[in-house]
Amino acid sequence: MLDISLQTITLTVLVPVYNEEGCLQRFREAMDAFLAESPVPTQVLFINDGSTDSSLPQIREICQKYGGYSYISLDRNHGLSTAIKAGIDHCRTSHIGYIDSDLQTSPLDFMLLLEHLPQHEMVIGIRAKRKDTFIKKISSKIANGFRRYMINDGIQDTGCPLKIMDAAYAKRVPFFDGMHRFLPALIQLQGGKVKQLPVQHFERFAGYSKYHLFNRLWGPLNDTFAFRWMRKRYIKYAIAEEFENQPVTNGHI
């Protein structure tokens, strides 16, 4: 029986894809396991970010063969922030999830995140016992620590690719390159509550990471200053009172 607190929730899971041909079929199998158990109506939206391998043909095949899967394909490779923004703009559900297709996080862990909706506007994972290289772990630790120090968002693992957001908040997120690194802080900026939970983490199933030491460190550090600049100028207001009259047409009300 559906939890009464979840009865109004519908979910679209965004899956940005850039050259992940070795992961997609196995990812679909893992996602199917979550779709079979999800307590809310759920659909999956692939965002092909200009892949140059066989990712797009595989995505087409999955969407044509299996229910619950759709896709959009960008004109070229724009980067993760743009792919996520395009997915957010395309969604029509009450909530939006996000996961990478490399299987380092499990779609089944969305079940843990759903337990904390709708009491929170965002629920995100913390990668417990990370199965990454030393370089990836130490660069992530430095970037996360610097971000928390500079913007005081209290988010332990902003880069964890397992999130669920209230769609109304997600659609109001200011758009800029590097936005994906600050999604929790951008939800907080609107007054939203963010819940953090430990989730499973695995070694990459196939392929390779699109990030290296330089963009794992310089990108987050540089974007943190951009976020601080934007936060100082962010427009936020609430209407205290409103009266709306009927329009006048040809002198008649």
pLDDT one-digit tens code per residue, 170-229: 999 887 787 888 899 899 989 999 999 999 988 766 656 655 555 555 666 767 777 776
Fold of 8-232: Spore Coat Polysaccharide Biosynthesis Protein SpsA; Chain A (3.90.550)
| Contact in structure between 94 and 164 (CB atoms under 8 Å) | no
Higher pLDDT, 57 or 179: 57
Within 10 angstroms of residue 70's Cβ, the number of other Cβ atoms is: 13
On the question of pLDDT at 150 being above 90, the answer is no
| Contact in structure between 201 and 127 (CB atoms under 8 Å) | yes
Q: What is the mean pLDDT of the chain?
A: 86
Note if the pTM is more than 0.75: yes
Q: What are phi and psi of 60, to 5 degrees?
A: -55, -45
Chain centre distance of CA 58: 22
End-to-end CA distance of the chain: 50
**Amino acid letter for position 158:** T
d(CA 147, CA 185): 10
